[in-house]
């Protein structure tokens, strides 16, 4: 990959609306990814949801988790998390 291509992509990312939000969401994701494996497990996700709304039950979180884990690998990757966050 050429230097010019990298530079163009960086500029594009910077200018694209939502890039800043994606960065903030990345921080949220990393903060809740307690064991730093790059994915949110159900336990990590429940902890996150309870920090957003303490009235949510574990069962409700489980339903949300299944909806977000679109590739069904049992964990939420950042792309899945981002899709879910921006969808609503
Ligand atoms: Ca994790
Ligand atoms: Ca997944």
5 in a structural domain: no
What single-letter DSSP state applies at residue 16?
A: S
- Number of domains comprising the chain: 1
CA of 14 to the centre of ligand 1 (A): 28
Q: Which domain holds residue 72?
A: 19-87
CA of 39 to the centre of ligand 1 (A): 4
Q: How many CB atoms lie within 10 A of CB 62?
A: 14
Query: Is residue 21 pLDDT above 70, yes or no?
Result: yes
14 in a structural domain: no
Model-level pTM? 0.76
Let me know if 4 is exposed, middle or buried by CB neighbors in 10 A (0-12, 13-18, 19+). Answer: exposed
26 in a structural domain: yes
CA of 40 to the centre of ligand 1 (A): 4
CATH number of the domain within which 52 lies: 1.10.238.10
Question: pLDDT digit string (tens) for 40-71?
Answer: 999 999 999 999 999 999 999 999 999 999 99
> Of residues 33 and 14, which shows the higher confidence score?
33
């Amino acid at each position: 990959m050429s230097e010019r291509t990298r530079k163009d992509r960086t500029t594009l990312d910077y200018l694209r609306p939502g890039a800043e939000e994606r960065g903030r969401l990345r921080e949220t994701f990393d903060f809740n990814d307690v064991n730093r494996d790059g994915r949110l497990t159900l336990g990590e996700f429940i902890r996150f949801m309870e920090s957003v709304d303490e009235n949510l039950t574990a069962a409700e979180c489980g339903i949300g988790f299944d909806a977000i884990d679109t590739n069904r690998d049992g964990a939420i990757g950042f792309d899945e998390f981002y899709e879910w966050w921006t969808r609503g």
